[in-house]
Amino acid sequence: MALRPYLLAILLAFTASACKSEPEVDPAEVAAKRKRDLDNARIRLRDGKVADAKILYQNVLDGEPNNPDALYGMGRVMYEESNYDKARELLEKAIAGKGDDAEFHAALGAVHVSQKNPAGAAAAYGEAFKLDKSNGDYGLKQGENLNKSKKFAEAEAVLREVAEVDRKARFVLTELGDALREQGNLDEALNTYMKAQIENPDDKMAHAGAAFVYEAKGDNKHALDEWSTYIRMDCCSEFSETVARKKMLELEPAAAGG
């Protein structure tokens, strides 16, 4: 009989503890909220509301630290905040968890561009282009960065493919012309630049590329014509001041003499 009060006390304590316990969480409701946060974050990031997007992505990561979509989104937030090291870390982690999303690789490519790492950018955009062959911009950016990495033959192959699958990718012909010119294929490079000028009349670098080719072929008069056109299209940029105008001064005497 002496045990009865003791047992009653234990039962009351257990009952009180059970009453104070947290209500059971519905996993479906958690998943639905996570999806809402990701959708809303994506919209806010698209609309330039970076701080709002950051809060929503963090909400998801607090509950699921390895969520690939949240890691990707937070990586893009870090990119917008110019925190490129953190952006790269998050995007690489996102890709490790979901490597078949072309946008993830393209976002990493943009980070490498900002970090002045063309080889890394070419690799990342190359993965994006493999995953989405219909998006010529990915291949164009891969080619651009291969050119910057001085991998001109690789750039040529990629840019030829882009020109076939997505001719509307702006400036693909000029980039292809650059790759050809750097390999010494002057005649094909010149033809490619001329096509670029016809297809994109505002493509000033197609005129610069043609000028370089004409100079390499010893045709200073036509080189001057192309540089003159370039300067009319771009009077005051750094390239115009440090390259185009200097070329005009160098080539004018030679053209006048020949």
What would the two tokens of residue 228 be? 């003159």
pLDDT reported for residue 1 = 46
pLDDT reported for residue 168 = 76
Measure the CA–CA gap between 146 and 164, rounded to whole angstroms: 18
Mean pLDDT by 10 residues, the chain (258 residues): 52 51 69 89 94 96 96 98 98 98 98 98 98 95 98 98 85 97 98 95 96 96 96 95 94 69
What number of helices (H) and strands (E) belong to the chain? 15, 0
Q: With left for phi above 0 and alpha for psi between -120 and 50, is residue 203 left, alpha or beta?
A: beta
Measure the CA–CA gap between 124 and 132, rounded to whole angstroms: 13
Reported pTM:
0.85
Measure the CA–CA gap between 227 and 53, rounded to whole angstroms: 46
C-alpha pair distances (Å), 126 with each of 139, 162, 163: 6, 12, 15
Q: What domains lie within the chain, and their CATH numbers?
A: 170-258 (1.25.40.10)
pLDDT reported for residue 190 = 98
